[in-house]
Amino acid sequence: MSEKFYITTPIYYVNAEPHLGHAYTTIVADVLNRFHILEGKETYFLTGTDEHGDKIVRAAEGAGEPAERYVDRMSQMFRDLWPKLGICNDDFIRTTEPRHKSVVKKILERVHEKGDIYFSDYEGLYCFGCERFYTERELVEGKCPDHLTEPTMISESNYFFRMSNYQDWLIDHIKRNPEFIRPERYKNEVLSFLKDPLEDLCISRPKSRLRWGITLPFDENYVTYVWFDALINYISALGYPEGELFRRFWPVAQHLVAKDILKPHGIYWPCMLKAADIEPYQHLNVHGYWNVDEGKMSKSLGNVVKPLELVDIYGLDAFRYFLLREMVFGLDSEFSEDALVARINADLANDLGNLVSRSLTMARKYFQRESVQPGKQVEIDEDLKRRALQLLGEYESNMEKLGFHKALIAIWDFIGHVNKYIVKTEPWVLAKKDRERLSSVMFNIIESIIEVSVLLWPFMPATSEKLQGILGLERKGGDLKLRNLGLWEGLRDVGKISKVPHLFPRVEVKKEAGVGEEEEEQKPEERRKEMVSFEEFQKLDLRVGVIKEAHNIPGSKKLVKLLVDIGEERVVVAGIAGYYSTEELVGKDVVIVANLMPVKLMGVESNGMVLAAEDDTGVHLLTPDARTAPGSKVR
Ligand code: MSP
């Protein structure tokens, strides 16, 4: 029997549209789920919506809709968003569904029968935003710490859950299972909260005040407090108590939440489970907050980040990569579009994009599966293989510990090594003089790309599958398991290699005009340079040339060193590394300025300049439209 994995996200309130924060949590859950699929586990991934309570009633009223219709419409927005973000959840639960309501009633009955629910008068300070009572001690300057509003004094009779009965058990459980709440800072926060006596939890709302909720099974006049209702989704979706899914997945349950809802998940929920004689979950994984403009995202500030808008501009995989690479799990992060663009250009267009386009273009040109037949000797590059194995280990251990950014750093480190290996082995030179060695070099490169494609699958599923598709791999995406790597035998599956598309175009950064600078684009005639006479123009020696060799320049992300035949051989340095792979360049006809003063760039002397045109889509070399003899004059 394979090992199992069960991951949940919070069920999101339907009082507002999904934003960056919801997208992040759900993407992290998807990344974790896919990682466990790669580990060969049987997985289950649950998300959904939280639809009861005051907050929702007020939002429905604000929208001028009956609550039923409002929650249907809003819940659908979440449900529709997830596939667009590449989320592959197995189930989507809504707290208004009968399957959920019946489990909430069962749990309430059970805890009630046990004597852990009692009826009592209560007078307290209530925050409508949080939908809970606050003690004086919890308020900050008399206000709710989250909503910064003064709570209202409410006096009513209600039902209470004897949470205090479970305080000692919970402290002991957390101490004996140090990974129960992680990262550690959040475990410590819960333990520090538990130093003071726990108050019992008010779990009902009189129908005179709120009708939109689940009626208590033992008192028709009350509905269930929204948190007591919502937390139960994690087991109602599995068909508690008899459900097959519950039996299989509950013992390995892991929740994923942000720090805002640490207390209900770290305190109420384990106590509720204990009271209902259900095993506690395995892990509560808590992440930090995405801030915008150094503060919270908020409708009133107009800085709510909408995930689909970013995906439309930058692409889904770039967005997913950025979120996971940028945030250290557990800590807060500042979101900015500039940071997103910087990551796309440096990590995706440059590092990964270069590796993929140069390797797979070469693979298509020089190499098909037939080049490495079983039994044919290939020379494995031991250094590259050792690094690949080391990467696998680092990746697995970081992913297990929620160190997503570290796992990505390790992959990018490896990408850097493969890029270096290509520069060192120069397959384009071997293609002309040593086909045997070329086979071995290409074998090592393709095995490395297969590994990168598999490890990227949780983060960038479409890119990973595209890479595997180009290689004609018979097993794709999650079918390739981590245990298949490390053996360096993925090539057995490689088929016909297809044309390589441009995966990550660079994002041009539009410079904002500063004070005093002209805001509008200049008119074409203003952009033109000053006039030159024909004699002056004739001073330029423009020649047709053909690129014989192209090499990346170590330490430079922009420059390539070209050997150009213009009737004689010239070394020319060109700033086109982000736009062409060195393999694509070899054999290209170009136009060069042949009498430009030599200049040293990154230690290489350049004797000329290659002409190219640039627009929003990138840099394009100028080429005569028919084969022209090298050295021909351009007039
Ligand atoms: N309905 C409750 C959860 C009940 S779970 C049994 C709720 N809903 S919520 O819509 O407010 O979602 C809160 C969650 O959304 C956070 O815990 C986090 O997962 C995500 N985020 C919302 N804003 C966020 C940020 N600014 N940054 C990161 N994640 C945040 O609470």
3-state secondary structure of 560: strand
Of all protein residues, the one whose alpha carbon is nearest to atom 9 of ligand 1 is 12
pLDDT of residue 373: 57
DSSP string, 423-481: HHH-HHHHHHH-HHHHHHHHHHHHHHHHHHHHHHTTT-HHHHHHHHHHTT-SS-GGGS-
227 C-beta closer than 6 A to ligand 1: no
Q: Which residues contact 475 (CB under 8 A, 6 or more apart)?
A: 493
- Amino acid making up residue 287: H
Burial 132-156 (b: 16+ CB within 10 A, else e): bbbeeeeeeeeebeeeeeebeeeee
- Amino acid making up residue 71: V
**Ligand 1 mean position, distance from CA 489 (Å):** 43
pLDDT higher at 489 or 499: 499
Residue 360 has pLDDT above 50, yes or no: yes
Residue 205 has pLDDT above 70, yes or no: yes
297 C-beta closer than 6 A to ligand 1: yes
Q: What's the mean pLDDT in 195-205?
A: 94
- Amino acid making up residue 149: T
Residue 131 DSSP class:
T
Assess contact for 590 and 601: CB atoms under 8 A: no
Least confident of 25-39, 381-395, 488-502, 544-558: 488-502
- Mutation choice for ligand 1 from 20, 22, 71, 299, CB with most ligand atoms inside 8 A: 22
Q: Which of 226, 259, 51 is nearest to 145 (CA)?
A: 259
22 C-beta closer than 6 A to ligand 1: yes
pLDDT higher at 93 or 134: 93
- Mutation choice for ligand 1 from 13, 214, 291, CB with most ligand atoms inside 8 A: 13
* Two structure tokens written together for 57: 């009633």
CA–CA gap between residue 454 and residue 360 (Å, rounded): 16
Residue 486 DSSP class:
T
Of all protein residues, the one whose alpha carbon is nearest to atom 6 of ligand 1 is 231
**Ligand 1 mean position, distance from CA 297 (Å):** 12
pLDDT of residue 635: 87
**Ligand 1 mean position, distance from CA 25 (Å):** 8
18 C-beta closer than 6 A to ligand 1: no
Q: 406-461: per-residue pLDDT in tens?
A: 999 999 999 999 999 999 999 999 989 998 899 899 989 999 999 999 999 999 99
Residue 584 has pLDDT above 80, yes or no: yes
Q: 59-78: per-residue pLDDT in tens?
A: 999 999 999 999 999 999 99
415 C-beta closer than 6 A to ligand 1: no
CA–CA gap between residue 318 and residue 593 (Å, rounded): 38
**Ligand 1 mean position, distance from CA 66 (Å):** 24
Of all protein residues, the one whose alpha carbon is nearest to atom 22 of ligand 1 is 21
28 C-beta closer than 6 A to ligand 1: no
Assess contact for 54 and 128: CB atoms under 8 A: yes
Q: Above pLDDT 70, what percent of the chain?
A: 94
pLDDT of residue 517: 41
Q: 530-543: per-residue pLDDT in tens?
A: 777 787 788 899 99
231 C-beta closer than 6 A to ligand 1: yes
**Ligand 1 mean position, distance from CA 3 (Å):** 29
Of all protein residues, the one whose alpha carbon is nearest to atom 18 of ligand 1 is 258
pLDDT of residue 604: 87
CA–CA gap between residue 609 and residue 599 (Å, rounded): 10
**Helix 67-84 crosses helix 20-38 at what angle (to 10 degrees)?**
50
Residue 521 has pLDDT above 50, yes or no: no
pLDDT of residue 601: 84
Split at pLDDT 50, 70, 90, the class of 510 is low
Of all protein residues, the one whose alpha carbon is nearest to atom 16 of ligand 1 is 258
In the sheet that 215-216 helps form, which strands lie side by side, from edge to edge?
204-206, 219-224, 215-216
Q: What's the mean pLDDT in 160-169?
A: 97
Phi-psi label, residue 478: left if phi above 0, alpha if psi -120 to 50, beta otherwise: alpha
Least confident of 257-261, 452-456, 491-495: 491-495
326 C-beta closer than 6 A to ligand 1: no
What is the rounded average pLDDT for all residues in the chain?
A: 90
> Which residues are part of the catalytic machinery?
19, 22, 127, 130, 144, 147, 296, 299
Assess contact for 391 and 408: CB atoms under 8 A: no
237 C-beta closer than 6 A to ligand 1: no
Burial 490-519 (b: 16+ CB within 10 A, else e): bbebbeebeebeebbbbbeeeeeeeeeeee
